Amino acid sequence: MARNSFQGTKINPTNFDRSQIPFFAFLIPFSLLMLLPILFIVNHAFKPQSELFAYPPKFFVRRPTLDNFLELSRIVSASGVPFSRYMVNSLFVTIVGVTLAIFITAFSAYALSKLKFKGKKFLFELNTLALMFVPIAVQIPRYLIIAKSGLIDTYWAHILPVIVMPVAMFLIKQFIDQTPNELIESAKIDGASEMQIFLKIIMPIIAPAIATVGILAFQAIWNDTTTSVLYINDESKRTLAFYMMSLTSAQGNTVAGQGMAAAAGLMMFIPNLLLFIILQSKVMNTMAHSGIK
């Protein structure tokens, strides 16, 4: 009887089971703790001026107001360059940048994982070495390359520096490494080219890793203000992130600018949150497989 009862118990039941209660008791408090920054961003955007500078500071808003958003809208409508221009610039460079980042990192990872050529190991070690450098450490050589290439005041200055992502290529390569070589060899025997193998076999398999790379690239491009400051002098080619930052920091009244900064921060954060919610299951799959051979 005990043996039959044991055999009928699943290690990870599909539906809720009493055996899962200890796990929920442990994980739910940590989940709530991780939600606190999101709750703070939302509450902060709706705080009136009196609560923004209250001491001691309050985590939750007491008297919600839309004044911060209304003031932001008023300043936006009075600016020289239309708000829609900055929005279009951000959407354009983000869509193009994310698309190129996905394909370039996926192509590179496939080559380093499954193709045989001289110097493959050295290139992978070079990519691993690149993980050590934070963006600020390569800011000067990056500026010199962009300036010498004639990309100042172009959309490519926004796109090119972020389409090659060492951490993204590492994740995708680890995913592709798990694809059986026999599957690729059988496709070649059937007459499939390398491009057909990549598009029809590899790409569907690495879909979770691609979703993760998409999120990383989206966050890097959508939230980027450095490019508009260093490489762009033409106001009509700057992005929404820079515009929001300049609006709130250029106000003569620092106190009034804090409310708009909170509202602008929430507006810039929402697309990141929605994208992660939509793709979070695939991100978890990527993290589960990236370190498994």
pLDDT by residue, tens only, the chain of 293 residues: 444 444 444 555 567 667 777 878 888 888 888 888 888 888 888 888 788 887 788 888 888 888 888 888 887 777 667 778 888 899 999 999 999 999 899 888 888 888 888 888 888 888 888 888 877 888 888 889 999 988 898 999 989 888 888 888 888 888 888 888 888 888 888 888 888 888 888 888 888 888 888 888 898 889 888 888 889 888 888 888 888 877 766 555 556 677 778 888 888 888 888 888 887 766 655 555 544 44
* Whole-number pLDDT of residue 282: 64
Residue 195 has a pLDDT of: 87
Structure tokens at 64: 């919600």
What homologous superfamily is domain 73-289 in, according to CATH? MetI-like (1.10.3720.10)
Tokens of 46: 């709706």
| Beta carbons within 8 Å of 198's beta carbon, 6+ residues apart | 106, 107, 110
If we measure between CA atoms, which residue out of 87, 73, 86, 85 comes closest to residue 260? 73
User: Are residues 74 and 266 in contact, defined by beta-carbon separation less than 8 angstroms?
Assistant: no
Residue 100 has what pLDDT?
92
**DSSP state letter for 152:** T
pLDDT for the residue numbered 95: 93
d(CA 4, CA 52): 62
**Rounded distance, CA 19 to CA 110, Å?**
42
Q: Chain-centre distance of CA 162, in angstroms?
A: 11
* 114 Cβ contact partners less than 8 Å away, ≥ 6 residues apart: 176, 179, 181, 184
Q: Measured between alpha carbons, how far is 264 from 240 in angstroms, rounded to an integer?
A: 10
On whether the CB atoms of residues 276 and 88 are closer than 8 A, the answer is no
C-beta of residue 68 within 8 angstroms of C-beta of residue 45: yes
Domain boundaries, the chain: 20-65, 73-289
Query: Rg of the Cα trace of the chain?
Result: 24
d(CA 117, CA 7): 50
Gap between the Cα atoms of 260 and 256, Å rounded: 7
Q: According to the model, what pLDDT value does residue 116 have?
A: 84
